[in-house]
Structure 1
């Protein structure tokens, strides 16, 4: 029997609080026995994974330039050949030794997030154009009602970045550098700024 739902009211939206860590990363906050390890933690690759190993580090900053120490960041990316580890991937078979997704809470003392992954390949935008190698980021933290989506591009892919159709859609070209990581030694550094000067470009997905 179908019951009417008109009497149900929409719950008020709330910003991400401590429960996001309890639900998503219980081991990180000291709640053990639920998972052997938190989902999405650890490297995205193993010894058999194809591609260049890279490390991504960064912080999430609020509008006042302060580091958020309670943020949670997830990444989603293609493998080194540009295939996604997803049932919807129909172009070819993704590397079975590459996860393609990871989750990292910011360090409670420094706010830093760290991902050990591989550099992704190009992926198609449509039948004629390709997107430059990139990694999609999803961010939740205090003061955010809905998770924020952004992308990280690579500074050593200048030609691919210049031809990327998504970057081309950004109206204010001076903001494109907010999506390009900085290379520091063996690491890529990608800081995400929620507001204020050099605010990161976010996408409505």
Structure 2
């Protein structure tokens, strides 16, 4: 029996819920069911380039930290190459270019260690500035949010980036820029994500 689409009711939506960590980051939820943590090792020990720390906090519309967030990160290596079967042999052994982290349940802070990515080729070969793509889910979010993290010490590359230039207002573009500092001799980039409000982070419909 077939049904016409117009007669079907919309399936109810559901947020990520309080159990997202059990399924996607079980170790952080106290379930040691895997020999290796899923997605924590982004660059691996053999990756070339500058070792960096990326960290921040996710806040809601009132400015309060959201403490049950899960973030996934995708990036190229320092040469601007993604870990993909098409590029077999072009990335370092152990470089995954993908990671999964969660916020601290007490403070809402999140962070990961990796290497700073290089510029990558976009559509029609147009170069894109070094960046890390982020996908965010949490209780209260029906659909995962996609955004990008750019680096404040890549001003020339950022100015020419085709994605950043799609954002009309400079103030809005600044919500995608991570700020560099140094801690114990290591570069640290701060990237706070705001889900709502006047300084809401730019999210992409992809």
Q: Aligned partners of 2:45, 2:28: CA distance in 1, in Å?
A: 25
> Structure 1 regions of 5+ residues with no counterpart?
none
Give the superposition deviation at 1:128: 4.7
Map of 2:189 onto structure 1: 188
Matched residue SS, 1:195: coil
Q: Aligned partners of 2:140, 2:153: CA distance in 1, in Å?
A: 34
Q: Aligned partners of 1:114, 1:37: CA distance in 2, in Å?
A: 19
> Structure 2 regions of 5+ residues with no counterpart?
none
- Matching of residues 1-205 of structure 1 within 5 Å: 10-32=10-32, 34-41=33-40, 43-87=41-85, 89=86, 93-185=90-182, 186-205=187-206
Which runs of structure 1 show a deviation greater than 6 angstroms over 4 or more consecutive aligned residues? Answer: 5-8
Q: Aligned partners of 2:119, 2:166: CA distance in 1, in Å?
A: 18
More strand as a share of residues: 2
How many pairs align?
A: 200
Deviation per CA, 1:76-126: give whole Å up to 9, x if none: 000111111123x45982233311000001000111111110000111123
Matched residue SS, 2:21: helix
Matched residue SS, 2:159: helix
8 A contact 1:69–1:109 mirrored in 2: yes
Report the TM-score when normalising by structure 2. Answer: 0.90
8 A contact 2:55–2:189 mirrored in 1: yes
8 A contact 1:17–1:141 mirrored in 2: yes
8 A contact 2:47–2:77 mirrored in 1: no
